[in-house]
Amino acid sequence: MPDATSGGPEVRIATDLMDCTVPGPAGRLTIRRIADPEHRLSAEWAKTSRPAPPAVLQPLIPVPGVVPLGELELIAAMQAPDILVVDSRKADQYAKYTLPGAINLPFTDTDAALEVLGCRRTDDGWDCAKARTVAMFCNGAWCGQSPTAIRRMTEAGFPPDRILYYRNGMQGWLLQGLSVWRPGDSEVFHI
């Protein structure tokens, strides 16, 4: 059956899910998959080899207690009102495009991330008893930005069981033909 929005073949996120909406700063954002069977990843995301270090394969679970996510689990987290989706890439990468509704907490600023996530500074370090649950991602399985942020956050006292980690990152998201978003825009797009 053709996809009514594109005239192409019907492409679903899951068997029972054609699209879904997630909260964005200016309203709801709709996530869909690209329905063009000829679509290919751009050269930027099609690379299979990157200089190491820093680009080395990252573990599925960067810190014991962290919960790994696939795309469907991440989409569910994006729709959950109590989970904050965090792009831990550098600000210039985030500004180009990101996952719909994600906020940017760069891996280079642990203190700012802890504050945004509900931790408070004490004389002894950080109190994260009231911290929010967070779903974190970066560029892909070879990118160390989210794992670095996760390690720094947990070393400071953030509970690992409140961290969800999408290891596939932007590369995995784009490989599945899913919508992306430019912060400040009210619509999503595909690249």
DSSP letter at 115 equals H
> What is the value of pTM for the model shown?
0.91
30-51 pLDDT, tens digit per residue, is 999 999 888 998 888 988 888 8
Q: Rg (Cα) of the chain, in Å, rounded?
A: 17
DSSP letter at 9 equals B
Cβ(40)–Cβ(67) under 8 Å?
no
Query: What are the structure tokens assigned to 149, written together?
Result: 């942020």
Residue 37 CA to residue 1 CA, distance in Å, equals 14
Cβ(117)–Cβ(82) under 8 Å?
no
What number of other Cβ atoms are within 10 A of residue 96's Cβ?
A: 13
Q: How much is the pLDDT for 5? A: 52
Q: How much is the pLDDT for 8? A: 61
Q: How much is the pLDDT for 64? A: 98
Residue 4 CA to residue 6 CA, distance in Å, equals 6
Cβ(74)–Cβ(165) under 8 Å?
no
**Half-sphere exposure of residue 134: CA atoms within 13 angstroms, side-chain side:** 29
Q: Where are the alpha helices (DSSP H) in 117-185?
A: 145-156, 169-175
Question: Hey, what long-range contacts does 173-177 have (CB within 8 A, 24 or more apart)?
Answer: 173/71, 173/99, 173/137, 174/41, 174/45, 175/41, 175/45, 176/33, 176/71, 177/11, 177/33, 177/34, 177/39
Q: How much is the pLDDT for 1? A: 45
Q: How much is the pLDDT for 4? A: 46
Residue ranges in the chain modelled with pLDDT below 50:
1-4
